[in-house]
Amino acid sequence: MTDSLASLVSSRLRDIPDFPAPGVLFKDFTPLLADPRAFAAVVDDTAARYRGRVDAVVGIEARGFMIGAATAYALGVGFVPVRKQGKLPAETESAEYSLEYGTATIEIHRDAFAPGARVLVMDDVIATGGTLVATCDLVERLGGKIAGVEVVVEIASLGGRATLGGRPLTSMLLV
């Protein structure tokens, strides 16, 4: 990751205090998506690092769809959605993960990719890491190999990187 890409990303994020709950400082990346140069820079940088090395991109509902689908297109590989419970129509594999209060469940289609597929997992933000760990578990349960985990923003103080247990994580910006 170059310093100039990190500063471009940083300039296209905005902090929204008290969203979605009081005390949370939300990192909104919609200005980055709306800027064609910044959006392309993020997608092209990621795609360049994985070209020829992955068979599928997995994106996590909802914001992981936005960058994940664009990156899959840039790489010329398929896109696989990981969705919140009850949204995928065919047979699914499920994983539960912790939220600040309670738990949530995400799902993937059982036939999403062939066993042995090299998979790039993408989301907008890693905070506690719960969402990404659950997603990586689903990919591995289906026989996929995690080629990389890519996020735009890593909230370092919440320690998500350590929860990934050595799966290779790259973030465009540490906050």
45 versus 123: smaller Cβ distance to ligand PRP: 123
Q: Exactly one of 100, 110, 140, 141 is catalytic; which is it?
A: 100
Alpha-carbon gap, residue 143 to 136, rounded angstroms: 11
Q: Exactly one of 63, 150, 154, 161 is catalytic; which is it?
A: 63
Residue 140 annotated to the active site: no
CA distances from 9 to 27, 105, 153 (A): 11, 30, 9
Residue 110 annotated to the active site: no
Closest distance of CB 61 from Mg ion, Å: 7
48 versus 99: smaller Cβ distance to ligand PRP: 99
Partner interacting with residue 128 (select from Mg ion, ligand PRP, none; CB below 5-8 Å by kind): ligand PRP
Closest distance of CB 14 from ligand PRP, Å: 15
Partner interacting with residue 88 (select from Mg ion, ligand PRP, none; CB below 5-8 Å by kind): none
Binding site for ligand PRP (CB under 6 A): 60-63, 123-131, 160
Closest distance of CB 115 from ligand PRP, Å: 26
21 versus 90: smaller Cβ distance to ligand PRP: 21
Spell out the residues 6+ positions from residue 4 whose beta carbon is closer than 8 angstroms to its own.
Answer: none
Alpha-carbon gap, residue 95 to 146, rounded angstroms: 17
- Comparing every residue's Cβ against Mg ion, the nearest one is 63
Dihedral of CA 169/141/116/55: which sign?
Answer: negative
Catalytic residue list: 63, 100
